[in-house]
Amino acid sequence: MQNETHIAPLRRITRRPHLTGVRRGPMCVSEHAEQAALFRWAEFARARLPELALLYAVPNGGHRHKATGARLKAEGVKRGVPDVCLPVARNGAHGLYIELKTERGKTTSEQIGWIRALRRHGYAAEVCHGWESARSMIEHYLTAGPHRGPALAASTPTPHGASHDQAA
């Protein structure tokens, strides 16, 4: 299946936030640490799954200075876009989007709206809690086809009053 010699060190890193430069408590793992571990795994797994060369992150999250946020918004950065994209078509899906959360992370209404809209437009789009869940989703997508995750809640309004489903 996969080479466990590469997986074990990544598990240790995500359980030690000080190794990633992010400190939020003794046992808290950040989304940054989870995503960094996912991309380290992808580098190791490219020999087996060459499509992983196309895997990329969407730099949407994080705290920024107001001027930087305004500049990024003007450039088209949108709230709620999933964190990770694999633009490889499989079994009727145009590509895979993943919203990566920590084990206890919660999705926002904007993120749910994006995932629902992406699914409606022919993409596989999932929420994964932890890098290992995302790794499993990617492997499944590339080897067995798209997986439809649990149904998301009914249309959730955005802060501006219209749902993403209505807008998309």
The predicted-structure confidence for 81-98, as pLDDT tens digits, reads as follows 999 999 999 989 999 999
The predicted-structure confidence for 41-69, as pLDDT tens digits, reads as follows 999 999 999 999 999 999 887 777 888 88
- DSSP conformation class of 6: H
Which domains are present in the chain? 4-149+163-167 (3.40.1350.10)
Helix or strand or coil: residue 34? helix
Determine if the pTM surpasses 0.75. Answer: no
- Report the candidate in 58, 78, 105 with the shortest Cα–Cα distance to residue 160: 78
CA pair distance 12, 37, nearest whole angstrom: 10
CA angle 109, 112, 117 (to 5 degrees): 125
**Whether 129 contacts 106, CB under 8 Å:** no
